[in-house]
Amino acid sequence: MEQKNLEITNKGQITIFSISDCKFCQKSKQMLKEIGKQFNEINLDLYPIKKKDMIEMSQKLSVPQIFIGNYYLGGSDDLEKFIGQNKETKNLDQIIEEQKQKRENLDLRLQIGDLQPVQPFQMDKLNEPYEFENLEINGKKYTFWEIRKFLKQELQIKDRRWHLRQFKNCFLGEEAVKIFQEKFQVQEAEKAEQIGKTLQKMGFFQHVCQDHEFKNQYLFYRLQEDIDQNFMNSYKIFGKGIKLNKDPYYLLNGIVQRFKQMKQSVINVEGNYQYSKIKQQDQFQNFMENFSELQIVELKDFGDDELVAFIINLYNILVQIGYCIIGVPSSFWSKFTYFDRVKVNLGGLVYSLNDLEHGILRQNRKAPGKFSRQFGKNDERLQFMVKEFDCRIHFALNCGAKSCPPVKKYDAQVLREQLQINSQYDWGNDAA
């Protein structure tokens, strides 16, 4: 990732706020190169703290944002219009000269100064294993992913009946023992049974009634991912005492980026996302493993702005993941119940979409159509309610409706500026 900082200190310098892999940023830089203009680039991926400066000076959230000296030019389209089809530089040169003649110095917000760049996001760091994930069986080491894939492919998973009761998506303990003997090359059924008990303790599967440990008997067991599909991050279970081995913002940012990548391959001719096809992709299973790590995110570690930004980002991605797992709601009733059905485990506590919005972000208000507050008076989740309710979150949460605001990434450092600009933009559109 190249960061241009030409250390141009004159008052007429051209400054571009950009992010990596932005086609409009690349277009703007190319236009300036073609007319022989140098520029100072402030890449917000490398200097995220400068995002607040960009928002303050431009009153815009998008990139690129372009300045000539202290004069705000605009975005990529504005630069293109200003230069014109014939690549005329007269107007641009005139503004540069005007800025050079001004008495005030270049605004410090348009300079990087002594700031050190942060490390760019690396997707592979999302998959750093935890100690408990590596399992050695009969002298050979296996990763969590290898075990999970093997169980999914080899076990005889189907609906089964016991007396008058039917159990969906389960396998037999005695059948699994034979499969374990073959897979892990153990002759004794007792050793294969012990392997099954170890896998059960690691959270790969549970007894359908959760009242039997794994045995070489006619007992029904169900893979963790099939137990309750309303819990979006129960794909992999993290036991008590496991500490998150990465920053929670880093984790959620990676989850969002990975989901965006998967979405790009399932756009239909109308430009809509086909969420049901995302679940069929090979990388979806690995994605759900990362999403399961949210189980060990502790909300008590967040400040108020950090909490609001994190919950908004989580809410917006959770709505879409729910579409993949349980489907896009179509009827009135399915839409009404969707926000109670889709749930996530954070720090051992379960939150629905309504819990995140009305319980935490809206300071425990009633959800639409409900007769009581979201959390009861003795609910331990009350401790994570925001200290100050900001009604502008309405312009940040995307519930999946066409009228909802676009999904954006929210940062704690510039949260209030982002919410203010979003609310102004939304009201402006309504007025138009």
What pLDDT digit, counting tens, does each position of 310-366 carry? 999 999 999 999 999 989 998 999 988 999 999 999 998 999 999 999 999 999 999
Whether residue 175 is predicted with pLDDT greater than 80 in this model: the reply is yes
With a cut of 70, say whether residue 89 has pLDDT above it: no
Domain residue limits, the chain: 14-110, 132-226, 248-430
Find the range with the poorest average confidence among 27-36, 148-157, 232-241.
Answer: 232-241
Tokens linked to 356: 């995140």
pLDDT digits (tens, 9 = 90+) for 74-83: 999 999 888 8
76, two tokens: 């990529």
DSSP string, 14-32: EEEEE-TT-HHHHHHHHHH
Q: Which fold has domain 132-226?
A: Arc Repressor Mutant, subunit A (1.10.10)
Q: Give the closest residue to 318 by CA, choosing from 300, 340, 302.
A: 340
Residue 355 confidence (pLDDT): 97
pLDDT in tens, 98-109: 888 888 888 999
Q: What band does 427 get if pLDDT is binned at 50, 70 and 90? A: very low
Q: In this structure, how many other beta carbons lie within 10 angstroms of the beta carbon of residue 320?
A: 19
d(CA 312, CA 284) in angstroms, rounded, equals 22
Which tens digit of pLDDT belongs to each residue from 59-72? 888 889 999 999 99
- Is residue 308 pLDDT above 50, yes or no? yes
Query: Residue 132: pLDDT above 70?
Result: no
What is the structure's pLDDT at 219? 97
Contact yes or no for 112/47 (Cβ under 8 A) = yes
The percent of residues in the chain predicted with pLDDT above 90, rounded, is 44
d(CA 234, CA 226): 9
Mean pLDDT across the stretch 246-260? 87
Is 6 a residue whose pLDDT tops 90? no
pLDDT at 88: 62
Is the separation of the CB atoms in 367 and 332 below 8 Å?
no
Question: What does the pLDDT average to over 190-214?
Answer: 93
- State yes or no: pLDDT of 125 exceeds 70: no
Q: Token pair for residue 197?
A: 């008990």
Q: 250 versus 53: which is more confidently predicted?
A: 53
Q: Helices then strands (H, E): number in the chain?
A: 14, 12
What's residue 340's pLDDT?
Answer: 94
- Separation between Cα atoms, residue 161 and residue 208, nearest integer Å: 12
**Domain range 14-110, CATH class:** alpha beta
Mean pLDDT value across residues 179-186: 94
Using 50, 70 and 90 to split pLDDT, how confident is the model at 145? confident
For residue 408, name the pLDDT band (cuts at 50, 70, 90): confident
Taking the model in full, what pTM does it have? 0.73
Under the banding of pLDDT at 50, 70 and 90, the label for residue 429 is very low
354-405: pLDDT as tens digits: 999 999 999 999 998 888 999 999 999 999 999 999 999 998 998 887 777 7
User: How would residue 2 be classed by pLDDT, with cut points 50, 70 and 90?
Assistant: very low
Average pLDDT, the chain: 86
**225-248: pLDDT as tens digits:** 888 777 888 888 776 667 777 788
